[in-house]
Every structure is written in C-alpha cells, then in structure tokens.
Amino acid sequence: MLQQIIDRRLSGKNKSIGNRERFLKRYRGQIREAVRRAVSGRDIRDINQGENVTVPKRDVGEPVFSHGSGGTREYVVPGNQDFTRGDRIARPQGGGGGGSGEGEASPDGEGEDDFVFTLSREEFMQYFFEDLALPHLIKTQLAETPEWKSRRAGFTGDGTPNNIHVVRSMRGALGRRIALGGERRRQLRELEARLAEARKNPNTLPNEIAALEEQIEVLKRRLSTIPYLDPIDLRYRNRVRVPLPTSKAVMFCVMDVSGSMNEARKDIAKRFFILLYLFLTRHYERTDIVFIRHHTQADEVNEHDFFHSVETGGTVVSSALALMVDIIKERYPSGEWNIYGAQASDGDNWGQDSLKCREMLHNDILPLLRYFAYVQVADGEQSLWSEYAALAEQVEHFAMRKIESPADIYPVFRDLFKKEGTT
C-alpha cells in the first residue's frame, strides 16, 4: 500500500506533439510568411536551421470575459512602508492596478508582446518544401529504403555464439581465475611450505602433519570450484548497422559574373541557388555544391568568391558549360551521383555562343543530369533565352524562368519544382 514509484521517463515523450501540430496548423499563414521572409534574408550557410516565427499576441489570444479597467476596485497589498490611512497615491502608469492580484496581468509577464516561437529546422524545411518534390527521383536511391552496412564496434557482454571472441573471453576468464583464487593459492603455498618443513623436522607430531594435509586438501577443493570459464567471461564481437549513404547529389551553380551582373541581380541568383541547395539537402544524404562563375572564361571558385567577387568584361556562357562537363567527368560519375544544374544569368551572351550552349546542353550535359534549371534575372530576351526556350520544348528536365525581383523567387522556385502530376 505504501508506495509505488513508477519510472515514466522512457514512456511517452513528446505527448504534446499533437498539440504542437495543431498550433502550427492554425497559424500556418503566419508561419509560411515567416519562412518566406527568412529564406530571402539568410546566407546559404545559415539557411539550414530553424526560424523564429512571430505571431501577434492578439491572434493567439484566447478571449474570456474579464474585467476591464475602470470602476472602483480595492487592492490589499503587502509591504507598506510609510503610508497611513487617507494618503493619496498617483496611479501607476500603464493603467489598471499594475497587476495587483486581480489576475489581469498576463501570467507569463510577456504583456502585449508578440508570441514568438521557434520552428525547428525540420519544421522549417517542411513548410518550405511543403508541396514540392524533386522531379525524376529514383525512389530506390532515396533514404526511404536505406542500405545498411554492418560495422564493428568493440565488444559486448552478450550476443550470439557465432560472434564469440575467443581470445577476449579467455583473457577475461584468466583474469577472473587469478583474482578469485589468488588469496587461496597464496595460503596453499604457505601451507605446503609448512608441511614440507614439518616433514623434515623429526620432532613434528603426526597429527600436526595430518592437520596440515587436511587444510591443504580443503584449499585445493575450494580452488577447484573456481570455474575455468564462466558466462560472465564471454565477450562477443559487437556489430552495429550504419546507414550507407545511398544517394548523393551534386549541384552545379553556374553564374555569370560579368560587369552587367550587378549586386541586386547576383543577390537574386544567390537566393535561387540557396533554395535549390536546401531542397537537395533534404532529399539526399550528401549534397555537394560546385560553384562555377564565368565571364569570358569560367573558373571553379569557393562560395565567397562566387558571390562577392566583381569581374568585368564580356560573357561567354559556353565556357562555364564546358568546365561543368569536365568536372562531371572528373569527379562526379553520373552513375553514382545525382547531378543537378542551376544557372543564373542576365541573358547577355556573346552572339555566336548561344547556339553552342544549346548544343552542349543538349548533347553533353542534359543526358547526365537529373534536372537543369535556368533563371534569367533580367527582363529582355536575347539570343540565349531564345535558344534555351527552344531547348526547353524538347527536353522535359530542363526548365527556365525569368525572375525580376526578390519577391518573385519563391513562386518561381515552386513553379520550377512543382509536384509532378499537379500541373
């Protein structure tokens, strides 16, 4: 009757998940808005994290009938210092009674602030990619059916007989036998020495020898009960299963950095790449990014240089495509990698080059790629646009759009990767 202590720690964590989901669902509109703002405001390195979402307090409030300020009310409060009856006190600012026991001040002390909460990284992504799916995904290569690889991970005390590690087990048994028998063995040696001495000494009484012999006998019997191998000695090889990254993706960011690409245009392009990158990290266990910038010639650069270096000069788009082909051949065999391409440009190109670009894409690149997206961050339609447009009609996994302002990015992105079948 007295007590039962129940250990609940392992049962039912996250009981509130259902409630949290309901909450998020209710404020879906605000959350989406916050996610959209976050995406346009973040760096590519920071994008992979949660986000604070702010909902105005009045929207999350649960109204109840309550007293407003006004009328007559009396408070009893502790801590009188020097008031006497009849003293007049100025009303504290902020109206009401300054939270004087009427239960009107908000219990969490947050007052009229907005309700701010953090969307976890997963939730953030969930909202972001809500109804998107990668086109032409090969299901078997996705994490849904991960491949496992078993790997050694030390030794354990239990396991199946085929995993017994004999050397370790015997070593343990030996240690145990020494530890358990050491003291008795020492006594045994002592007694045997005494017995030998007693036998040498002619004055020894026979019953003394008999007593010694008996003690020796007892010790020997005791020692023989220490088992040679005990279940606790057994050691098994421990094997753990680790997921094998089955799907790898590489994303090529190709951008024109010629003089005509100003900061604003680069910024738009960058956001486009961020979105694609995020999308890929969600679908692939490993996603590499290759940044290729080009003007009249192309370089592979790091992210910082990609977005921040200023170059001048003309534009030859095919140089970048050629470099892309080289890199794929060298480092990303298409049998192992899912290759995605994203290209941003303002549409300028050296006149003769556009046709060459189209051919390279069509013959050398697109066959290796899962998807290639081209965005033009300026309005006009020059030769590159028209060549690409012709290509887009023939090839299904090539898409192109124009983006004019940062606000267009999100819808354009969704449009590019619209769930198949919903178009």
Partner 1 sequence: MNAAAEAIANNGVRASDRPPHNPLPCPSDWTFELINTYHEAIDKTARRYKLDTYANQLEIITAEQMMDAYASVGMPVLYRHWSYGKQFISTEKSYRRGQMGLAYEIVINSDPCISYLMEENTLPMQALVIAHAAYGHNSFFKGNYLFRMWTDASSIIDYLVYAKNYIAECEERHGVEAVEATLDSCHALMNHGVDRYRRPQKLSMVREQAMRAEREAYMQRQINDLWRTLPRQASKKAEGGPMRFPEEPQENILYFIEKNAPLLEPWQREVVRIVRKVAQYFYPQRQTQVMNEGWATFWHYTLLNTMYDDGLLTDGFMVEFLQSHTNVVFQPPPGQGGFRAFNPYALGFAMYSDIRRICESPTDEDRAWFPDIAGSDWQKTLDYAMRNFKDESFVGQFLSPTLMRRFRLFSVMDDESESEMEVSAIHDDSGYRHLREALARQYDLNHREPNIQVYSVDIRGDRSLTLRHTRDNNRPLGESTAEVLKHVARLWGFRVVLESVDGSGSVVRQWVAPPPE
Q: Identity (one letter) of the amino acid at 274?
A: I
Q: Which of 45, 77, 335, 421 binds partner 1 (CB under 8 A)?
A: 77
Q: DSSP letter at 162?
A: G
**206 touches partner 1 (CB under 8 A):** no
Taking CB under 8 A as the rule, does residue 3 contact partner 1?
Answer: yes
What angle do the packed helices 17-26 and 28-41 form, to 10 degrees?
80
Q: Chain-centre distance of CA 268, in angstroms?
A: 26
Least distance between partner 1 and beta carbon 195 (Å): 46
Q: Which of 28, 46, 73, 329 binds partner 1 (CB under 8 A)?
A: 73
- Between CA 58 and CA 106 the distance in angstroms is 13
Applying CB under 8 A, among 33, 40, 102, 132 the residue interacting with partner 1 is 102
The window from 94-102, 249-257, 317-325, 398-406 that contacts partner 1 (CB under 8 A) reads: 94-102
Binding of residue 112 to partner 1 (CB under 8 A):
no
* Contacts of partner 1 in 325-364 (CB under 8 A): none
Q: Are 382 and 348 in contact (CB under 8 A)?
A: yes
Using the minimum distance from each CB to partner 1, give the nearer residue, 50 or 146.
50
Does residue 79 bind partner 1 (CB under 8 A)? Answer: yes
CB of 72 or CB of 150, closer to partner 1: 72
Among 84, 150, 225, 405, binds partner 1 (CB under 8 A): 84
Give the angle 125-114-47 at the CA atoms, nearest 5°. Answer: 25
Q: What is the token pair recorded at 266?
A: 């680069």
Alpha carbon of 420 to those of 134, 349, 396: distances in Å? 8, 32, 12
Q: Which is nearer to partner 1, 53 or 369 (CB)?
A: 53
Residues touching partner 1, count (CB under 8 A): 72
Q: CB 278 → partner 1: shortest distance, Å?
A: 24
Binding mask 20-39 for partner 1 (x = CB under 8 A): xxxxxxx-------------
Q: Which of 29, 41, 61, 313 binds partner 1 (CB under 8 A)?
A: 61
> How many other CB atoms are there within 10 angstroms of residue 417's CB atom?
20
* Least distance (Å) between residue 35 CB and partner 1: 16
CA dist., res. 279 & res. 126, Å (int) = 10
Instruction: Give the burial class of 85: count Cβ atoms within 10 A of its Cβ; 0-12 exposed, 13-18 middle, 19 or more buried.
Output: exposed
Do residues 350 and 286 touch, judged by C-beta distance below 8 A?
no
Q: Confirm or reject binding of residue 50 to partner 1 (CB under 8 A).
A: no
- At 90, give phi and psi (nearest 5°): -70, 145
Identity of the residue, 116 or 242, whose beta carbon is nearer to partner 1 in the bound complex: 116
Region binding partner 1 by CB under 8 A among candidate stretches 99-107, 183-191, 214-222, 296-304: 99-107
Task: Tell me: does residue 228 bind partner 1 (CB under 8 A).
Answer: no
Q: DSSP string of 229-243?
A: S-GGG--EEEEEEEE
- Find the binder of partner 1 among 45, 78, 312, 393 (CB under 8 A): 78
Give the N- to C-terminal CA distance of the chain in Å, as an integer: 66
Please report whether residue 225 would count as binding partner 1 according to CB under 8 A.
no
Answer yes or no: are the C-beta atoms of 210 and 298 closer than 8 Å: no
Establish if 64 lies at the interface with partner 1 (CB under 8 A).
Answer: yes
- 181-184 contact pairs (CB < 8 A, 24+): 181/223, 181/226, 184/219, 184/222, 184/223
The least CB distance from residue 59 to partner 1, in Å, is 11
Least distance from C-beta 121 to partner 1, angstroms? 15
